[in-house]
Amino acid sequence: MKAPSGGKRITKGWLEFMLAEHERKERPGTRVSVADFAVRQGIPPGEGFNSELVLVDVTAELSNGPGEAQEKTYHLAAKFFHADPFAAEINRRFLSHIKELRMYAEVVHELNAFLAARVPEESPICIPKMIYGKENGSEYVLVMENIKAAGYMTNDKRKGLDVEHVMRSVEEIAKVHAVSYAYNKAHNFLEKFPCYQFKIETITVIPAFLTCSLKNCIAYLNTVKGKEELAKKVENAHPILSKKFLALYDDFGNVCLCHGDFWNCNIMFKYQQHDDSQEQTLEGIKLIDWGNSSWNNPIFDLQYLLHTSTTLELRKTHIDDILQKYHTVFTSLATKLGAPLPHYDYSALREDWDRTAIFGFTLGNMLIQGTLSTTNPANKPRGPSILDHGALTPVRLIVNGFKTGMAKILGPIISGPNGGKFMEKFFGGILKPIQKEILSGTNEAMNARLLEILCEADEKGLFDE
């Protein structure tokens, strides 16, 4: 059955078909009759760059024969191609949808089976359960359990993660890294899952974004008392920072499966409430949003997490404990799985951490401005369009077709050697209103985190020639 193209096009008939496919995996012959369903937006605008996410609540009746009917309620999360044709085409180019679908349909099952066979006492890699998936080029849908309904929630991105949540997150990503590393030694991961091969063109837009975001940083530092000299250092270092960033991919080998977008809002936590008090205990964790995953270097996931999702105080106070925890989990689990890491003690990891500081600063600077801003155009909800009217469907299809065509033309240009100038203009338009917000001083959380990461980078000598 043809999959809907988005949340607004979900029908009762498709839900019955999709849920029956799911139920028949365990109970062949099951029929599903949907009594009622509701669809709502899954995430705030600006936090879903790779796809459209909607939440679907379904009440249905399941039957497998005479007199066997039972009512069941489903809480689902469904992903589709991004509603904007340009964004959808770019994500097709970088295989974001395929990588995420395969993660839920095959990869994690394969890794967990490998883990259970060799270290049965270890808990599995935790991601939401897949309900249904389809991808055939023109159609794409991924349906998962809505883990919010089971009590999982994300941390407030404006506050950042505390030590307990960082430690738990680091443990979980270390497990992903260790299991995939060991699996590869026995089975050749990329031969089985070639779509995860890292391609340098996936990060060629970052220098353009860095260039534009640093202009905001320089303007901001010039308004902060005592930071005028730092503003000059950033301005002078500006041309070489992108080169330092790109050079990392020549210096560090790709050794395991990495998340690629490992920050606060892609980690969900569940808590146990104690009856005798208001205190909660962290009970569970699940990692979500795998569209940027690739075979890469694990230190990048750590830099990404800590510089996008924690405060400078936490990093300064607890960095050794955090990295020690990661190193212990990664190396001990890899050894149990039959793939010990030779010549990689904690001092070697710490050296890698220091050498990749430019990665943490670059991604931290970008995400602080991109996700904490209240004026980012990408964070604005899409209002009703006249083209949504049924009578104008032919016009909407023509407009969307034009956007898709332009994306196919521009995609190779963007990811090519001359794409930087084009993307600088594009990102410059997005970052102008963010600069105004920074200079206004109204967004204290964003400004504080931005100043912290700039001062931290200066202390590490990233702006020194």
Last residue of a domain, one of 125, 145, 165: 145
Packing angle, helices 357-372 and 298-309, rounded to 10:
40
Q: What is the per-residue DSSP string for 187-219?
A: H-HHHH-GGGB--GGGGTTHHHHHHHHHHHHHH
CB atoms near residue 430 (< 10 Å): 18
Instruction: Provide the total of helices (H) and of strands (E) in the chain, helices listed first.
Output: 15, 9
| 4-54 residue pLDDT tens | 999 999 999 999 999 999 999 999 999 999 999 999 988 765 455 578 999
Residue 457 burial by CB count (10 A; 0-12/13-18/19+): exposed, middle or buried? buried
Residue 398: predicted pLDDT: 43
| 96-144 residue pLDDT tens | 999 999 999 999 999 999 999 999 999 999 999 999 999 998 899 999 9
d(CA 275, CA 57) in angstroms, rounded, equals: 29
Whether 231 and 221 have beta carbons less than 8 Å apart is answered as: yes
Residues 224 and 366 in one domain: yes
d(CA 53, CA 40) in angstroms, rounded, equals: 9
Residues 172 and 289 in one domain: yes
Residue 390: predicted pLDDT: 45
The amino acid sitting at 245 is F
We report the CATH number of the domain holding residue 351 as: 3.90.1200
250 falls within a domain:
yes
Residues 160 and 100 in one domain: no
List, for the chain, all residue ranges whose pLDDT scores fall below the cut of 70.
44-49, 67, 275-277, 376-423
Residues 296 and 390 in one domain: yes
Residue 402: predicted pLDDT: 45
Residues 135 and 178 in one domain: no
The amino acid sitting at 226 is G
Total number of domains constituting the chain: 2
Q: Give the sign of the dihedral formed by CA 20, CA 23, CA 26, CA 27.
A: negative
464 falls within a domain:
no
Structure-token pair, residue 393: 């469907």
Residue 142: predicted pLDDT: 97
Whether 179 and 114 have beta carbons less than 8 Å apart is answered as: yes
Whether 163 and 276 have beta carbons less than 8 Å apart is answered as: no
151 falls within a domain:
no
The CA-based angle 90-98-137, given to 5 degrees, is 70
Residue 47: predicted pLDDT: 56
d(CA 145, CA 349) in angstroms, rounded, equals: 36
Residue 440 burial by CB count (10 A; 0-12/13-18/19+): exposed, middle or buried? exposed
The CA-based angle 110-178-261, given to 5 degrees, is 85
Q: What are the residues facing 41 on neighbouring strands?
A: 54
Residues 109 and 68 in one domain: yes
Residues 378 and 276 in one domain: yes
465 falls within a domain:
no
Domain that holds residue 140: 1-145
Q: Give the sign of the dihedral formed by CA 207, CA 212, CA 215, CA 216.
A: negative
